Amino acid sequence: MTKEHAKVREPIVRMAKRTNISFVRAWIIRLCAIALSLVVCSALIYALTKLNPIKVFGAMVEGAFGTKKRMWSMFKDTAFLLIVGVALAPAFKMKFWNIGAEGQILVGGITTAAFMIYFSDTFPAYVLFPLMVIASCVAGALWGMIPAISSDSHERSTYTALGAFTGSIGYNGVTVIVVPVVSWFTWKFTGQWEQGRTGWAAFAIIIAVLGLLTAWSVAFGTRENQGGLRAKAEANGNPIEAFKAIAQNDQLLWVALSYLLYSVANVATTGVLFYQFKYVLGAPDSFSIAGIIPVITGLGTTPLYPVLNRRIPRRWLYTAGMALMIAGYTLFIIAPMNLPVVIVALVLFYLPAQTIQMTAILSMTDSIEYGQLKTGKRNEAVTLSVRPMLDKIAGALSNGIVGFVVVAAGMVGNATAADMTAANIRTFKTCAYYLPLAGIVASLVVFLLTVKIDENMHAHIVEQLEGRLASEEADK
C-alpha cells in the first residue's frame, strides 16, 4: 500500500442518494420504515411503562390535534423546525456540517423571550416584533464568536462579561428611556405630551437604526482570529466524528455535569418563587421584588467578573458563588415566612448567578483547546451548544418540577396562604429548597473534584498546541 493510499480513510457512515429506485418501491421502503419504528417504539413503551402502546399513540395524537390550541402549538413548533432546516440547508448543500446551530437558536430564543417578558407591556406589537427579530439575530451571532475572537482565557472572560453587561444595559436602558423619548417625539409632532402613535413610530425607527448599526458593527468590524490553533486543527469529517471527539473531552463533560446540576437546582427554585410569595408569605404583591433583585445584582456583578478574575482564579470565584447560594438556601429553609429574611436570601441566591454562569461558559470554551490537544479536533460549534442545551433541559424539567411542587404542597385551586398547613409548608420547603440545595452541593463537589481546567492549565495547553503545530510545520 502506497503512502497516498494509506492516508485515505473510509467514513464510518456513508450517505448516497439512490437514483435508480422506482416510485412504488421507494414508498414501500418508507412505509416499512414507519411500521418498523412503530413496532420498536411499542415494544419500548410497554417494556418501560407497561402501558398499552395503542393508547399511548392515541394520547399523542390527541395531544397534537385534540383542540385548536394544541394544533396551533404543534404547527408553530413545526414551523420553527422548518425555518431552522431552511437556514441550515445551504450549509449542508455546501457540505459544511453546521451542528452548533442549537446553541445559537437557543440564545436567540432566550433573547426573544426576554424582550417579550420585559417589554410586552412597554411597546406596542408593531414595535416589539422587529426588536425581537433584530435582538435574537445579534445574540445568536455573538454567541458563536467567543472562541473565534481569542484563545486567551482572561480575554475571553472580558468579552463574555462585556457582552452580558452591555446586554443588561440595553435591556434595562430601553425601559428607562422609552417613555421620555416617545413622549418627546409625540409632543414634537402633535404638541401633546403623551405616548402617541407618532412617538412610538419615531422610537421604533431609532431602535431599529441602532440595532442595525450595532449588528453591522459586529459583522463588519469583528474579525475571527485565524491563528494556528484554528487554521491547523484537524477537521471533523462528519457529525459522528465530531460527537466522538466531544465524548473524549472529559473536561467538557465534567463541566457540563456540574452546570446541569446547578441549572436544574436553580430553575427548581426560581420556578416556584411566586408560590413562596403567594402561599407561604401571603404577599403576592411583593413578588416583583424577586424580579428587581436579579436585575440589580446582574448589573452590579457582571462588569466586576473580569476584574476579579484577574486576581482570583475562576475555581475560587465559582466556589464563593456556590457558598453564597448555599447561604441563601439556608435562610430560605430557616425562615420562609419572614419577608425581610426571604429578601436577604434572594440577594444571596441571585448575587452569584452571573459569576457561576460565566465560569461555566468560560470553562467550556477553554475546553475547546483541551479537546484539540487530546483528539486533534477542534469543536467550537458543538462545544458552545452544550451550555444552551443544558439550559433547555433544565427549562423543560422546570415545568414538571413546578407542577409537582404545587400539587404536592396543596397550592392549587382556591387555596390561600391561610389554608397552608405545616405539612404543606414542609413539603414545599423540601421540594423548593432542600432538594435544590443538595443539587447545588453536588454541583460544587463535581466541579472541585473533577474539573481541572483553569486559566493556568489552559495557557499551558495553548503553549503545547502551538509547539506541536510548529513542530509539525517544521517536519513538512
- Grid coordinates representing 317? 470565584
In this prediction, residue 342 carries a pLDDT of: 92
Q: Is the pLDDT of residue 345 over 90?
A: yes
On whether the pTM is more than 0.75, the answer is no
Confidence of residue 4 (pLDDT cuts 50, 70, 90): very low
Question: Which amino acid is residue 333, in one-letter code?
Answer: I
For the stretch 227-244, pLDDT in tens is 544 544 445 445 555 566
Predicted pLDDT at 29? 87
Q: How far is CA 463 from CA 106, 233, 277, 370, 466, in A?
A: 33, 15, 53, 11, 5
Q: Which of the pair, 399 or 273, is modelled with greater confidence?
A: 273
Q: What is the mean pLDDT of residues 172-188?
A: 71
**Nearest C-alpha neighbor of 363 from the set 447, 307, 301:** 447
Residues 366-384 have a mean pLDDT of: 75
Q: How confident is the model at residue 433 (pLDDT cuts 50, 70, 90)?
A: very high
pLDDT at 272 (0 to 100)? 85
| 79, three cell numbers | 414551523
Q: CA torsion 19→21→26→28, rounded to 10°?
A: -160
CA–CA distance, 139 with 104 (Å, rounded to integer): 8
- pLDDT 10s digits, 118-169: 677 667 777 777 777 777 777 666 665 555 555 455 554 555 555 555 655 5
Q: Has residue 103 got a pLDDT over 70?
A: no
Structure confidence at residue 162 (pLDDT): 56
Q: Average pLDDT in the 457-464 region?
A: 83
Burial of 232 (0-12, 13-18, 19+ CB in 10 A): middle
Distances (CA, A) of 26 to 16, 18, 21, 36, 38: 14, 10, 7, 15, 19
CA geometry: angle 370, 372, 377, nearest 5 deg:
150
- Over pLDDT 90: what percentage of the chain? 11
Per the document, the length of the chain is 476
Give the mean pLDDT of the chain.
76
283 CB contacts (<8 Å, ≥6 apart)?
A: 277, 339
Please write the tens of the pLDDT for every residue from 62-83. Answer: 777 777 777 777 777 777 666 6
Please compute Rg for the chain using Cα positions: 26
The predicted structure's pLDDT at residue 69: 74
Specify which of 277-286, 422-431, 465-474 reaches the highest per-range mean pLDDT. 422-431
Q: How far apart are CA 253 and CA 386, in angstroms?
A: 9
| Of residues 349 and 274, more confidently modeled | 349
* Range with top average pLDDT, 67-81, 212-226, 326-340, 399-413: 326-340
> For 286-310, what is each residue's pLDDT tens digit?
877 887 788 788 777 877 888 888 8
Confidence label for 176 from pLDDT (cuts 50, 70 and 90):
low
Q: Are 12 and 238 in contact (CB under 8 A)?
A: yes
Q: CB atoms < 10 A from the CB of 323, how many? A: 14
Q: How far apart, in whole angstroms, are the C-alpha atoms of residue 142 and residue 446?
A: 29
Tens digits of residue pLDDT in 29-70 = 888 988 898 898 888 888 877 788 888 888 878 777 777 777
d(CA 173, CA 94): 41
Q: What is the mean pLDDT of residues 270-274?
A: 84
* Pairwise CA distance, residues 300 & 157, whole Å: 16
Mean pLDDT for the stretch of residues 466-474: 73
Residue 322, pLDDT above cutoff 90: yes
Q: Which three cell numbers stand for residue 48?
A: 418501560
Q: Give the residue, 318 or 399, on which the prediction is more confident.
A: 318
Report the first-to-last Cα separation within the chain, whole angstroms. 21
Task: Inform me whether the pLDDT recorded for 185 exceeds 80.
Answer: yes
pLDDT band, very low/low/confident/very high, at 450 (cuts 50, 70, 90): very high
**Cα gap 470→476, rounded to integer Å:** 10
Lowest mean per-residue pLDDT among 90-104, 188-202, 429-443: 90-104
